[in-house]
Amino acid sequence: MKLSFRWYGENDPVKLKYIRQIPNMRSVVTAVYDVPVGEVWSRESIAKLKKDVEESGLIFDIVESVPVHEDIKLGKSTRDKYIENYNENIRRLAEAGVKVICYNFMPVFDWTRTQLDKELEDGSTALVYYKDQLEKMDPLNGELALPGWDSSYKKEDLKALFEDYSRINKEALWGTLQYFLEKVIPVAKENDINMAIHPDDPPFDIFGLPRIITGEANIDRFLKLVDSPNNGLTLCTGSLGCTKSNDIYQMIDKYSSQGRIHFMHVRNVKILDDGSFEESAHFSTCGSLDIVKIMEILHKNKFQGYLRPDHGRMIWDETGRPGYGLYDRALGASYITGIWETLEKLK
């Protein structure tokens, strides 16, 4: 297991020196954030990231994310230009020593929550997804200020995007994903990079937008689109595990034994009776997922990929990017490391 930690660059209130102080921490998960989606990252920007990370005593060898332009997902005539830009980013990241690229194929929005600062019983605040709140939300009316929502979209551009997606169904999205993979995976293989798709979060349709990386059957289909070891998964326990329809333990066992999990996002969620969920502390009894069981499965299957503690609560009066505070994610990293060390010693 290669323990890693998400970092949002120079403007992140979480400093690299703090990440370095977390026991067993190895890699920094980051990206170039000042380039529009679909454009080529400059070698200078990549080199600066690498320099900053390595000077802190950590390793720069995994990127999250290289976003996929909407024209690729929609199958527009411009997609080949954006795919070639994507491939150039793969080549440039390989030059810098990157081994895994995380990405997603979610239309318009990445991960979506309905509230950033829900106060839990212990006084901490967390990201939550409440169905009754979602029903009152209109993404085409008002400011887009929730995580996973691109606030750079103008209202008229967002409306046009929704209209574009209203013209395609899930099968069409499967088709554009296959087209993308057939162009990208050979380049990744040539450059010794593993592509790791992140599941849809949450793993069901929202606002009428199609979502396809949602569960075991669809992941099986995805892996067969281009059946290559370089075509793999970012398996997020909180994304796939936030609905009882997914057997998260079965999926982790299956795909880790096949060597198709290149990156693990480990977090806990508390599933509510109506299918809503709250993000919780990593400790197993705080949520609906058994983190010890998850780590046992990975250890049994000799998982050698990257793993990061995913979203954390805001605790101890910390302020900053919701879900990405230092303290709770550091606790999560230490909890995960403790489980792993115990499993190693019990071999």
> What is the reported pLDDT for 112?
87
Contact 194, 228 (CB under 8 A): no
Q: How confident is the model at residue 109 (pLDDT cuts 50, 70, 90)?
A: confident
d(CA 120, CA 32): 33
Query: Looking at residue 96, what DSSP letter applies?
Result: T
DSSP output for 209-272: B-----SHHHHHHHHHHT--TTEEEEEEHHHHTTSTTS-HHHHHHHHHHTT-EEEEEE-EEEE-
Could you tell me what percentage of the chain is helix, strand and coil, using 3-state DSSP and rounding each to the nearest 5?
Answer: 40, 15, 45
Residue positions annotated with a catalytic role: 198, 236, 265, 310-311, 324
Query: Given strand 277-280, what is the order of strands in its sheet?
Result: 115-119, 125-129, 277-280, 268-271
> What is the reported pLDDT for 227?
97
Q: Which whole number is the average pLDDT over 202-209?
A: 90
> What is the reported pLDDT for 139?
79
Q: What is the CA radius of gyration of the chain?
A: 19
Contact 58, 16 (CB under 8 A): yes
Q: What is the pLDDT of residues 40-61, one digit of tens each?
A: 999 999 999 999 999 999 999 9
d(CA 138, CA 143): 10
Q: 206 or 69: which carries more pLDDT confidence? A: 69
> What is the reported pLDDT for 150?
58
Contact 101, 196 (CB under 8 A): yes
d(CA 135, CA 207): 9
> What is the reported pLDDT for 111?
84
Percent of the chain residues past pLDDT 70, beyond the cut: 97
> What is the reported pLDDT for 145?
52
> What is the reported pLDDT for 135?
87
d(CA 325, CA 57): 21
Kindly tell me if the per-residue pLDDT of 142 is higher than 80: no
d(CA 16, CA 8): 10
> What is the reported pLDDT for 244?
94
Contact 66, 187 (CB under 8 A): no
Q: Point out which residues pair with 196 in neighbouring strands.
A: 102, 232
Kindly tell me if the per-residue pLDDT of 143 is higher than 70: no
φ and ψ of 29, to 5 deg: -100, 115
Q: In terms of Cα–Cα distance, which of 183, 169, 171, 185 is closest to 72? A: 183
> What is the reported pLDDT for 110?
84
> What is the reported pLDDT for 216?
98
Q: How is residue 296 written in tokens?
A: 């046992």
φ and ψ of 14, to 5 deg: -80, 115
Counting Cβ atoms within 10 Å, is residue 68 exposed (0-12), middle (13-18) or buried (19+)?
buried
Q: What is the pLDDT of residues 273-294, one digit of tens each?
A: 999 999 999 999 999 999 999 9
**Residue length of the chain:** 347
**Termini Cα distance of the chain:** 15
Q: How confident is the model at residue 149 (pLDDT cuts 50, 70, 90)?
A: low
Q: Residue 84 CA to chain centroid, in angstroms?
A: 23
Q: What is the pLDDT of residues 222-268, one digit of tens each?
A: 999 999 999 999 999 999 999 999 999 999 999 999 999 999 999 99
Domains of the chain by start residue, with CATH:
2-345 (3.20.20.150)
Say which residues have a Cβ less than 8 Å from residue 347's Cβ, sequence separation at least 6.
Answer: none
> What is the reported pLDDT for 19?
98
